[in-house]
Every structure is written in structure tokens, then in C-alpha cells.
């Protein structure tokens, strides 16, 4: 009987130990999960297995083939590659300007493949900013109006719009040209207005497709310096397409594309 009692006590003891160990394991697993969570939340955009094919009559152009990209919050990314390699196409997928044939784009934890066109529009309005190669300013709006039109669309009051626009235009060095129409500005000035427009609503990510392609190298440097300033001072995430190596030096990381495939 006594033997039996002892055995039982032993058994209970070892069971306690096992329980303790299990608890420890669970704890450490929690830590791992947390760190995984951290990395996930730290990822601002992730695209998984993106494929984009264009049909040109009979011919199919496979602009992106199973592209996987992950961009962390606060990163300055340069997308490079030869002409026709799919840089613009990739940027358009990341920036929700286009819809991939297959694959997912996850921005800030939300899967955007399930959004409707108008929901995507809202998402772009509130969370994303764009700088185009040819500035793409609205010619009938002056600098300030071009900048605050998206704030207005967000429902901000006129005074909020105007003060925010004035502030950001001052930050890009155009504080003295608030009322100027795009047609009266140089290319560099127009591109700075377009940067101000892209940043006015503090987007999660700024996308720029060859923002300096139409600018001389001095003006290009001014624009890139602006990007760097916003990246470093405000932690602005930037994804920029470029084909100039010296532009890429501004970036934290370069994603190289060739024939629609990311080169490791």
C-alpha cells in the first residue's frame, strides 16, 4: 500500500514538473508569436505571388510573373530594372492603381484583393500618395488647390485644407508660389507640387514612378533630397521606380526586376 502511495506521489510530482515545463513552452511560444506579430505589423506592404498579364490582341505580355515583395514601414525602396521589365506594373499593383491577375497585395495587414473599385479609391485617398513621372497636376487648379483637393475629398474644412497645403508646400520649398498655376511653373517646381500633393494627407506609403525622368540632374537631386528628408524626418515609407543607379543610392534597399521576375 505504502509503495503504491509513494508511486502516486512520484507520479504527481513528475506531473507537476511536466505542467511547469509546458507552461514554460507556452510562454516562450507566446514570445515567438509576438515577435512574429511584430514583424508582420512592421510590414506595411506585402505582395504574394503577383502575376499580371496584358493581352494585346493575340499576344500575351507577362509583365509580372509570381512576384513576392515585402516592404517594411519606414523603408525607402527603389525598384530598378531595364525598360519593360515590369517596374511600373509592379508599382501600380503595390499602389492599388491596378489589379493583378492573381496573387494578393496586403497593405497594413488588410488584404486588398477583396476591395471593390470604390473601396480601393477610398483606400488610396486616405492611405496612399503618388508622384508621377510627368507630374500629372490638374492644370485648372493652382499649386495650393492641387495639393488640397484630396484633403477636400476627405471632407476637411477649407481652412484645414488651406493651412495643410500651405505648410506642405512650404516644406517642399514652394511657400511663395501657393497661387501659381502649373502652366506657370518649371518642371522641378511642378514635381515638388506633385510631391506636396502626394504627402499632404500623410499617406502610409508614397509611390513614385520615375519622378526625375523629366528633370535635369540638379533638379533631380533636389527632388530626391526631398524624398530623403521626408523618409528620415517623418519616417515616410517610399517606393520609387528609377533607372539611374545614383538615384538608387538614396534608397535603403533596391528591388531589381528583370522580365517580370524579382532578381535576388
> Does residue 93 belong to the site contacting ligand ADP (CB under 6 A)?
no
Taking a C-beta distance cutoff of 8 angstroms, is the pair 207, 129 a contact? yes
Site for Mg ion in 100-139 (CB under 5 A): none
The percent helix, strand, coil of the chain (3-state, each to 5) is: 50, 25, 30
> Does residue 88 belong to the site contacting ligand ADP (CB under 6 A)?
yes
Quickly count: other Cβ atoms within 10 Å of residue 258's Cβ: 13
> Exactly one of 19, 24, 68, 121 binds other proteins (CB under 8 A); which one?
121
User: Under rule CB under 8 A, how many of the chain's residues touch other proteins?
Assistant: 26
Q: Which residues pair with 103 in a beta bridge?
A: none
Written as one string, the DSSP assignment of 208-249 is EESTTTTS-HHHHHHHHHHHHHHHHHH--EEEEE---HHHHT
> Does residue 63 belong to the site contacting ligand ADP (CB under 6 A)?
yes
User: Under rule CB under 6 A, how many of the chain's residues touch ligand ADP?
Assistant: 12
Least separation in angstroms between CB 262 and other proteins: 22
Quickly count: other Cβ atoms within 10 Å of residue 171's Cβ: 18
Give 88 or 150: the residue with its C-beta nearer to Mg ion. Answer: 88
Rounded-to-integer distance, Cα 99 and Cα 19, Å: 51
Give 54 or 246: the residue with its C-beta nearer to ligand ADP. Answer: 54
CA angle (96 as vertex; 90, 101 as ends), nearest 5: 65
> Does residue 178 belong to the site contacting other proteins (CB under 8 A)?
no
Q: Which of 256, 247, 203, 254 is nearest to 226 (CA)?
A: 247
State the binding partner of 122 from Mg ion, other proteins, ligand ADP, none, CB within 5 to 8 A by kind: other proteins
> Applying CB under 5 A, which residues contact Mg ion?
88
> Applying CB under 8 A, which residues contact other proteins?
92, 97-98, 118, 121-126, 128, 130, 132, 136, 138-141, 145, 149-150, 152-153, 155, 181, 197
> Applying CB under 6 A, which residues contact ligand ADP?
54, 56, 61, 63, 81, 83-89
Amino acid at each position: 500500500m505504502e509503495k503504491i502511495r509513494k508511486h502516486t506521489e512520484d507520479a504527481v510530482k513528475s506531473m507537476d514538473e511536466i505542467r511547469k515545463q509546458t507552461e514554460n513552452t507556452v510562454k516562450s511560444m507566446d514570445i515567438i508569436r509576438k515577435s512574429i506579430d511584430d514583424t508582420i505589423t512592421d510590414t506595411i506592404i506585402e505582395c504574394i505571388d503577383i502575376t499580371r498579364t496584358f493581352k494585346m490582341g493575340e499576344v500575351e505580355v507577362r509583365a509580372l510573373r509570381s512576384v513576392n515583395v515585402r516592404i517594411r514601414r519606414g523603408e525607402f525602396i527603389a525598384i530598378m530594372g531595364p525598360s519593360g521589365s515590369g517596374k511600373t506594373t509592379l508599382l501600380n499593383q503595390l499602389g492599388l492603381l491596378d489589379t493583378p491577375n492573381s496573387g494578393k497585395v496586403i497593405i497594413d495587414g488588410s488584404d486588398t484583393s477583396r476591395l471593390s473599385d470604390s473601396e480601393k479609391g477610398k483606400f488610396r485617398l486616405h492611405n496612399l500618395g503618388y508622384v508621377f513621372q510627368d507630374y500629372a497636376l490638374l492644370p485648372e487648379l493652382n499649386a495650393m488647390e492641387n495639393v488640397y483637393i484630396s484633403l477636400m475629398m476627405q471632407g476637411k474644412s477649407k481652412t484645414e485644407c488651406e493651412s495643410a497645403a500651405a505648410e506642405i508646400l512650404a516644406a517642399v520649398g514652394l511657400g511663395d508660389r501657393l497661387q501659381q498655376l502649373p502652366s506657370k511653373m518649371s518642371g522641378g517646381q511642378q514635381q515638388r507640387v506633385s510631391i506636396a500633393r502626394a504627402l499632404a494627407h500623410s499617406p502610409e506609403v508614397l509611390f513614385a514612378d520615375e519622378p526625375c525622368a523629366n528633370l535635369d540632374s540638379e533638379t533631380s537631386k533636389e527632388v530626391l533630397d526631398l524624398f530623403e528628408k521626408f523618409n528620415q524626418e517623418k519616417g515616410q515609407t517610399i517606393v520609387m521606380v528609377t533607372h539611374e543607379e545614383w538615384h538608387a543610392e538614396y534608397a535603403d534597399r533596391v528591388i531589381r526586376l528583370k522580365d517580370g521576375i524579382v532578381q535576388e
